[in-house]
């Protein structure tokens, strides 16, 4: 028996109802995924805040202290962010502040060492510059900018769009492509219209 010659034919109304249902289901699942992503981000904010869920700063940033370099050598952070310097090289290095805001109390880590770590929480807004004293001549310098607007600084256009929006866009496009594929398949192979 040829499947194209079955007794029951797919009517266009039934097909359009099925296509609309598929589109609605795809949209609903994409919306659910977007809400789930937004909920996850809220949980992270609570973990970084104080016990009342209020923002307690910008979390933690890491700087690698290697042989004659800091990585990254430039940071933009929010007040309340803790910066952790981790020694990974073999030579002795330090973190010597050379410039900071007047009301800041950052003393740095002036003792030379080759391993371990050092951390400081930056609460005062402003520009902080620091160097490795014995290696400043080879360019081992770095800076930190502490500003309330640090969260708004983006690395590129992709960072300006939240992850939930990208998820929603991808799910919508996938739903449209699958719906159009079904439309083509049923129009091409769906049989004769009902008489």
Q: Domain locations in the chain?
A: 8-47+158-189, 60-153
Range 60-153 classified under CATH 2.60.40.420: yes
Task: Kindly list the averaged pLDDT for each block of 10 residues, start to end, along the chain of length 195.
Answer: 53 70 68 53 43 54 91 90 91 92 90 91 93 91 89 57 81 90 80 61
Chain Cα centroid distance, residue 111: 35
At 52 the pLDDT is 34
Residue whose tokens read 């194209």: 4
Q: Is 35 helix (H, G, I), strand (E, B) or coil?
A: helix
At 142 the pLDDT is 94
How far is the CA of 35 from the CAs of 28, 32, 41, in angstroms?
A: 11, 5, 10
| C-alpha–C-alpha distance, residues 182 and 147, integer Å | 52
At 35 the pLDDT is 57
At 131 the pLDDT is 94
């Amino acid at each position: 028996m040829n499947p194209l010659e079955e007794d029951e034919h797919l009517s266009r109304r039934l097909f359009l109802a099925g296509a609309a249902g598929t589109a609605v289901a795809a949209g609903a699942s994409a919306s659910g995924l977007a809400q789930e992503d937004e909920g996850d981000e809220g949980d992270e904010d609570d973990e970084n805040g104080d016990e009342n869920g209020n923002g307690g700063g910008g979390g933690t940033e890491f700087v690698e202290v290697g042989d004659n370099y800091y990585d990254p050598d430039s940071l933009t952070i929010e007040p309340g962010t803790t910066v952790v310097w981790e020694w990974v090289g073999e030579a002795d290095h330090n973190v010597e502040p050379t410039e900071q805001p007047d009301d800041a109390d950052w003393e740095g880590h002036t003792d030379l060492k080759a391993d371990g770590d050092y951390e400081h929480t930056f609460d005062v807004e402003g520009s902080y510059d620091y160097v490795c004293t014995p290696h400043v001549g080879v360019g081992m310098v770095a800076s930190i900018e502490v500003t309330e607007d640090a969260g708004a600084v983006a690395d590129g256009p992709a960072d300006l769009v939240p992850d939930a929006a990208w998820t929603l866009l991808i799910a919508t496009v996938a739903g449209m492509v699958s719906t159009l594929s079904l439309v083509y398949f049923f129009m091409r192979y769906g049989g004769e219209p009902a008489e």
